[in-house]
Structure 1
């Protein structure tokens, strides 16, 4: 099983993003996803900048995948999506069915991201017939579900038809909305947001009235307050036939975690969860 570094889900300054990927280039992480997946108003890093970063990482020996927006709301965003899919060099991670359709119409292979609702083997087989090479398991599903689906998709492990990736570490994306909750939190409209999400490098933590951490607001995206940490499940994943373990960046420390997945004591969090993997409420921490 190999390591994948997912796309940065937050609005970081351009210089920090460039420094992040320069450090990634110096590691042995084999697969890197790049791109804005949350909001097209985040213009610190443009598509041309991501292409330059992709070229740099490719030269460093990485496989690079360009990740698309999860929620397409305007014609301009769809036009930008087509440009991304038609980049001519790099595979894309389709994070909505619009991206799947564009790739299919062009006869291009693609990866399905975790936001695409792949809930059964029949859907996955159909997507594979359209060019899907790998899918990232939707976050709310369990290891029991995945084991069953893998056995249906790839009955012969020696001749796999579809690769499998699991989101194994990071803050989980739970929902996307047409409204920007970060802007509303600051008393701003979505159109006049001033890109205030750049001030929150891990989103805005939301707590209950009992001061229990509940959610993170990240622009139009709602995330888990706790980070999922499935590093101690790697042996199980490998035995099941999982091909990639994804680390979702939340800070520079995520690079160390992705580069040293075998070190289970590295950057342990007191506020972690793994409930979905064990078919429980997502915020639960199941004892293993």
Structure 2
């Protein structure tokens, strides 16, 4: 296989941590990313459950400072489901006070950010050209497309907005749905308000099985996620040709520096695809890979592709 450059211009982003990792662990994780990972953009913030927010907030200034000193662009991600008066108040405060660009993960945040430069996150449904264009006109600098779009749909969206920044979810368990209920708490016989933060026990999410014992989804607090780990390493070439400018890698409880290095070297052409896939396979042991959405089939499928000569 040729190891020619796919795109040394394409940027890698690290999505916000979706899971309930201890605050000190998150801080140290971001410090390591700042010092060692060849990533261009780092998203920080609590997007899953507002009850976790107070633990991370005190560390955000020093995390952002460390990342910026290392030459990384910092983006603050907002909550993906805003329901209570307290959550609305906190969202208003973040929009008013944040010195960093924001990623809006629900329509209320997008409304507050109208006319201001921001990122539209993956929790906002963008399925057609008109919606994409509307958000750009509203002030979006970059839009992160939903994980369930096929390659053909992505190509069509990119063709309609050339020279715009588009981000694709390329690695990690992907968020599929949100709920007002906390599945994690309920699975332990607890209420959402009295959850005891049991989601902390599952740093990559809690597997959900069918009645036959087959894992098919994962749960992360109020969030339903894929059981499989999205891996679009093979599809990078086509996505770059379509016009994708950024590729998101979702944090998992493994060596994310190595994951980032692998994707960067593949984009730069210094690492062949087969070798890159072997590295990722050695790192990801908790679930199989998938790329089904991209190929227009069930999302949990892995469509094997022949190597390009």
**TM-score greater than 0.5 by the shorter chain:** yes
Q: Please identify, of 163-172 and 199-208, the stretch whose mean Cα deviation from structure 2 is larger.
A: 199-208
* Alpha-carbon distance, 1:209 to partner: 2.3
Contact 2:38 2:260 in 1 (8 A): no
Q: What is the RMSD of the two structures over their aligned residues, measured on CA atoms?
A: 1.3
Q: How do 1:18-33 and structure 2 match up within 5 A?
A: 18-26=27-35, 27-33=37-43
Q: Deviations over 1:109-157 (max 9, x none)?
A: 1111111011111111111111011111111111100101111111xxx
SS in structure 2 of the partner of residue 16 of structure 1 = helix
- What is the match of residue 19 of structure 2? 10
Contact 1:25 1:60 in 2 (8 A): yes
2:117 aligned with 1:100:
no
CA–CA distance in structure 2, aligned partners of residues 80 and 172 of structure 1: 25
Unaligned runs of 5+ in 2: 1-9, 267-275
- What is the match of residue 83 of structure 1? 93
- What is the match of residue 64 of structure 2? 54
Q: Judging changes above 3 Å, is the alpha-carbon distance between structure 1 residues 203 and 44 closer, same or farther for their aligned structure 2 residues?
A: farther
Unaligned runs of 5+ in 1: 155-159
CA–CA distance in structure 2, aligned partners of residues 84 and 275 of structure 1: 36
Q: How do 1:1-288 and structure 2 match up within 5 A?
A: 1-26=10-35, 27-43=37-53, 45-104=55-114, 107-154=115-162, 160=163, 162-261=164-263, 262=266, 263-268=276-281, 269=284, 271-288=288-305
Contact 2:78 2:104 in 1 (8 A): yes
* Alpha-carbon distance, 1:203 to partner: 1.3
CA–CA distance in structure 1, aligned partners of residues 151 and 109 of structure 2: 27
Give the number of the structure with larger relative contact order, counting CA–CA contacts within 8 Å between residues 6 or more apart: 2
Which 4+ residue blocks in structure 1 deviate beyond 4 angstroms? none
CA–CA distance in structure 1, aligned partners of residues 95 and 54 of structure 2: 21
CA–CA distance in structure 2, aligned partners of residues 191 and 251 of structure 1: 26
SS in structure 1 of the partner of residue 280 of structure 2 = coil
* Alpha-carbon distance, 1:272 to partner: 1.0
Contact 2:185 2:191 in 1 (8 A): yes
SS in structure 1 of the partner of residue 135 of structure 2 = helix
* Alpha-carbon distance, 1:260 to partner: 2.2
